[in-house]
Amino acid sequence: MKKNILLLGALMMVLVGFSQDDSIVELTNESKYELPERYKMIGLNMTPLLTQLIPFNRSNPTVAGPYMMTYRSYRDNNAFRFGLGANLSDESFNNSTATFNMRMGWEKKKSFYESWSYSFGLDFFISGGGFNLSNASNSESGVFGTGVVWGIEYFVNPKVSLNVETAFYLGAGGDDGPTILFIPPVGLTLNFLVPKRARKRN
């Protein structure tokens, strides 16, 4: 618990630090923040930390969705997206709950009100052991496939945002053969914007 409080404090300090310099954006009438033409977003799944600080009547803080770290590289409103998550501890192996999940794909983002935006896209994924979801059974064999994804995002300030996503995947290769998989929006992701530096000309 003490470690979680220290981690939360460190994240708050990072948020304050990121909010000091707004030079990478300009305010507009259509949306509160105008993002750079090219930028990256690096995200961390905050659900495991939040469920330990505020239990939400859930007994298992590891049930946080398949992806613990995300990366998006934007040009205008289009992005290459990547996500990675794993639970590979000795305890998880002993209890047959080890998981590994990876996805990559494309998304398009659109602003709809001040600091809010929504996104939609396409993922290709590979999964082993399960998706870290409540009441989901773990699969001993790997699953791969593709599917559509939707998300909603809120910018706390020009450099920090929070988002959740949901997806429908069509998978193959599992214990039960081809299947349709629903990924609910259980993972709250904290994102940090990193602007791409312009290349220097000789």
**Residue 87: predicted pLDDT:** 79
Residue-wise pLDDT for 130-162, tens only, equals 887 766 655 656 889 999 999 999 999 889 999
The larger pLDDT score, comparing residue 51 to residue 100, is at 100
Residue 19 above 50 pLDDT?
Answer: no
| pLDDT band at 94; cut points 50, 70, 90 | low
Q: Are 25 and 34 in contact (CB under 8 A)?
A: yes
Q: How far is it, in rounded angstroms, from Cα 104 to Cα 64? A: 19
| pLDDT band at 47; cut points 50, 70, 90 | confident
**Residue 4: predicted pLDDT:** 45
Whether the predicted model's global pTM rises above the 0.75 cut = yes
Scored b (16 or more CB within 10 A) or e, 121-148 reads bebebebbbbbbbeeeebbeeebebebe
Domains of the chain, earliest start first: 36-195 (2.40.160.20)
Grouping H, G, I as helix, E, B as strand and the rest as coil, residue 100 is strand
Helix ranges restricted to H, the chain: 2-18, 47-53, 90-94
Residue 26 above 70 pLDDT?
Answer: no
Residue-wise pLDDT for 154-185, tens only, equals 999 889 999 999 999 998 877 677 888 899 98
